[in-house]
Chains A and B, each alone.
Chain A
């Protein structure tokens, strides 16, 4: 090739030609990329959604590894530290010495003249925070027996970073164990609604006609129902002597009874819309049978959208469980969920005395916001071709 002088018209021509080729390549790559990759690329642009997704990953790590992450057993009562306020993590001690390892002071209980418990730090006792310490023994996932906890302090140290409840149980540990019920009930409930929604919505959208009308009327009626009173009535009817697991499953079921209607509507609408698309007709003309078309063409084309709708309906379930448990008609102690923890915060008096008992509510808000943002991001990313 001849050498090109910069600035000449040939050089510019070649440069623009090269750029165009590059554009074409990028475009071709875009058209060839599978939808999932495109969805992921679009989702990544929604910074708040990505951040929320990271938070959710952390929260679900709590679900999986509660025993390991929680510094104490959630049922252990440290009576001598009952109603202790949250401890600040410190780096600088009373002498002004800077510690690289964060520590907490020892704490001492006093009863004031009104017999109210107050706690004072003992500045002479310094308990450094350590990683992977030995503490209360537990069985991880019911089969690995160990006593290693993610963090803790010296044996016997009063380490209650978020304070304790009226019985002296560590609030942080209880919050972490609370994720197990509070965060899975939403997922399970949505999975159930999802199933019901796809079945009913699919039937409605596929058969159409009278079946469609009946299912749609049923959905309308269920949607007109004030959800909370119905949930309350149904879950209050669950026998009190049932095991925690059984109550948990039935509450999930109750939450999905009304939840599936929204999903069914979306599925039906998508079914109706996609059925008429050209690519479905093309598949049919190429001799594909109905199950094949549904599996290969219909479901993938609206799956991402439905996943977004599902994500957006998790918060309602989380709030539902919390509300029911808070009112005393949902999960009950000894079960640990955020709603059960909030039962302690029912009276103003107790909130005024022990404001940290409202912390489980903060967790609810964080989880709900995170699900909302992730769902928002997914909804925007669900249709990567726009």
Chain B
């Protein structure tokens, strides 16, 4: 087991390295370099001593080739210095920290939502294959896959505005905006979070139902199920105890693929619903060419995904001994 974890950890580093290169390419993409603009801004607002400018150029390695600049950026990034956002006049780290936490929270809650909704429906669809309910969920599933996240957000916003007479954007209602934390405020927060979580979770739910249904159908056909039935085991007890448990395995192993799509979904839904998460900040940074902020976001989002994948792999190894031994061999 330990060997397996170490092996996966070592595999993570080349991945992170490639991700950091791509993120750095994004930072350097816009024409002209960022620090030059910054220096121009500094000199506009007042006289800046030459040595300050020289320090900045040194610090960001402006006179050196790109790989030196990349190396400097990356080593600073690892120590937590993600550069400076010109648009906000703040270090990127201060800007992004709390928002990214909220983003992760919403993403994880969406994942939970997906599972809580999709598993029972998937089990039902497999056990009652070709029933009306199965067809209904299959159809809704297709629809859920076809409707882009932002569209669902727009439609829900429209419906809420029209029929509930309330806006559903933002994190808090007006009366709680500046209020100190209280029970009411927490409830209000959860109410506001529910909509984005449902929206982000929907696309994943549709896919998960399909996979769960297919997996379980495969398991149900196996001889051990018939054996257990022949021995007189109660149907639901049997289904839940053995085939379902086996059908669940692939989900844990695919967390790594689900995470990127969750982050993507979270980004756009937050933009549409104007939630104070990292998504809108990222879009704004891109539009203003605030590249250290944008690059850091890409880097952090991708890294978190990699870490999430690692965790899911380890979890899977704990659950399924076959993977453990194969990985260690």
Inter-chain CA distance A329–B285, complex, in Å, is 12
Evaluate whether A229 and B264 lie within 8 angstroms (CB atoms) in the complex, with A224-B15, A351-B157 already known: yes
Inter-chain CA distance A351–B150, complex, in Å, is 14
Q: By DSSP majority rule, is chain B's interface helix, strand, loop, or mixed?
A: helix
Contact status B264-A228, CB under 8 Å: yes
Inter-chain CA distance A171–B15, complex, in Å, is 46
For the complex formed, measure the closest distance between the CB of A209 and the CB atoms of chain B, giving whole angstroms. 18
A contact residues, range: 35 or more
**B158 in complex: contacting residue of A227, A352, A369, A373, CB < 8 Å:** A352
For the complex formed, measure the closest distance between the CB of A223 and the CB atoms of chain B, giving whole angstroms. 7
Across-interface contacts of B263 in A (CB, < 8 A)? 226, 228-229
Across-interface contacts of B22 in A (CB, < 8 A)? 225, 230
Evaluate whether A227 and B268 lie within 8 angstroms (CB atoms) in the complex, with A233-B294, A348-B161 already known: no
**A217 in complex: contacting residue of B14, B30, B302, CB < 8 Å:** B14
Contact status A329-B158, CB under 8 Å: no
Contact status A369-B154, CB under 8 Å: no
Binary interface profile of B, 131-156, with partner A (CB < 8 Å = 1, else 0)? 00000000000110111111100110
Inter-chain CA distance A232–B30, complex, in Å, is 13
For the complex formed, measure the closest distance between the CB of B244 and the CB atoms of chain A, giving whole angstroms. 26
For the complex formed, measure the closest distance between the CB of B273 and the CB atoms of chain A, giving whole angstroms. 10
Contact status B158-A315, CB under 8 Å: no
**B268 in complex: contacting residue of A323, A345, A348, A352, CB < 8 Å:** A323
Binary interface profile of B, 222-265, with partner A (CB < 8 Å = 1, else 0)? 00000000000000000000000000000000001101110111
Cβ-based interface call for A234 (8 A): yes
Central interface residue in A228, A229, A348, by most chain B CB within 10 Å: A229
Across-interface contacts of A329 in B (CB, < 8 A)? 283, 286-287
Binary interface profile of B, 259-289, with partner A (CB < 8 Å = 1, else 0)? 1110111011001100000000011001101
For the complex formed, measure the closest distance between the CB of B195 and the CB atoms of chain A, giving whole angstroms. 13
Cβ-based interface call for B162 (8 A): yes
Cβ-based interface call for B18 (8 A): yes
Across-interface contacts of A322 in B (CB, < 8 A)? 148
Q: Which residue of A lies closest to B299 (CB)?
A: A229
Across-interface contacts of B309 in A (CB, < 8 A)? 224
Cβ-based interface call for A365 (8 A): yes
Q: Which residue of A lies closest to B169 (CB)?
A: A348
Residues of B in contact, count (CB < 8 Å):
52
Cβ-based interface call for A220 (8 A): yes
Inter-chain CA distance A107–B19, complex, in Å, is 57
Inter-chain CA distance A322–B146, complex, in Å, is 13
Contact status A348-B167, CB under 8 Å: yes
For the complex formed, measure the closest distance between the CB of A253 and the CB atoms of chain B, giving whole angstroms. 14
Inter-chain CA distance A239–B289, complex, in Å, is 11
Evaluate whether A358 and B154 lie within 8 angstroms (CB atoms) in the complex, with A226-B264, A237-B30 already known: yes
Contact status A226-B15, CB under 8 Å: no
Contact status B148-A239, CB under 8 Å: no
Binary interface profile of A, 343-378, with partner B (CB < 8 Å = 1, else 0)? 001101001100100100100110011001100000
Contact status B14-A234, CB under 8 Å: no
Q: Which residue of A lies closest to B309 (CB)?
A: A224
Cβ-based interface call for B297 (8 A): yes
Across-interface contacts of B297 in A (CB, < 8 A)? 229
Evaluate whether A372 and B145 lie within 8 angstroms (CB atoms) in the complex, with A226-B301, A229-B298 already known: yes
Inter-chain CA distance A226–B305, complex, in Å, is 8
Cβ-based interface call for B306 (8 A): yes
Evaluate whether A237 and B146 lie within 8 angstroms (CB atoms) in the complex, with A348-B158, A358-B155 already known: no
Contact status B146-A372, CB under 8 Å: yes
**B147 in complex: contacting residue of A229, A328, A365, CB < 8 Å:** A365
Evaluate whether A328 and B287 lie within 8 angstroms (CB atoms) in the complex, with A226-B305, A237-B29, A358-B158 already known: yes
Cβ-based interface call for A319 (8 A): yes
Contact status B151-A361, CB under 8 Å: yes
Cβ-based interface call for A327 (8 A): yes
Across-interface contacts of A348 in B (CB, < 8 A)? 157-158, 161, 167, 169
Cβ-based interface call for A4 (8 A): no
Cβ-based interface call for B49 (8 A): no
B residues 283-321 touching A (CB-CB < 8 Å): 283, 286-287, 289, 294-295, 297-298, 301-302, 305-306, 309
**A364 in complex: contacting residue of B148, B162, B267, B283, CB < 8 Å:** B148
Contact status A223-B29, CB under 8 Å: no
Across-interface contacts of B56 in A (CB, < 8 A)? none
Cβ-based interface call for B189 (8 A): no
Inter-chain CA distance A319–B151, complex, in Å, is 10
Q: Which residue of B lies closest to A228 (CB)?
A: B264
Cβ-based interface call for A221 (8 A): yes
Across-interface contacts of B147 in A (CB, < 8 A)? 365
Cβ-based interface call for B26 (8 A): yes
Contact status B29-A233, CB under 8 Å: yes
Evaluate whether A225 and B19 lie within 8 angstroms (CB atoms) in the complex, with A233-B294, A326-B150, A351-B158 already known: yes
Chain B residues engaging chain A, CB cutoff 8 angstroms:
14-15, 18-19, 22, 26, 29-31, 142-143, 145-151, 154-155, 157-158, 161-162, 167, 169, 256-257, 259-261, 263-265, 267-268, 271-272, 282-283, 286-287, 289, 294-295, 297-298, 301-302, 305-306, 309
Pairs A–B under 8 Å by Cβ, sample size 21: A220-B15, A221-B14, A223-B257, A224-B15, A224-B305, A225-B305, A226-B261, A226-B298, A228-B264, A228-B267, A228-B268, A230-B22, A236-B287, A315-B145, A319-B148, A329-B286, A348-B167, A348-B169, A351-B161, A358-B155, A365-B147
Query: Can you add 7 more A-B contacts, CB < 8 Å, to A233-B26, A236-B286?
Result: A225-B260, A229-B301, A233-B286, A236-B294, A237-B29, A315-B145, A323-B150
5 closest residue pairs by CB, A with B: A228-B264, A236-B286, A237-B29, A226-B263, A226-B260
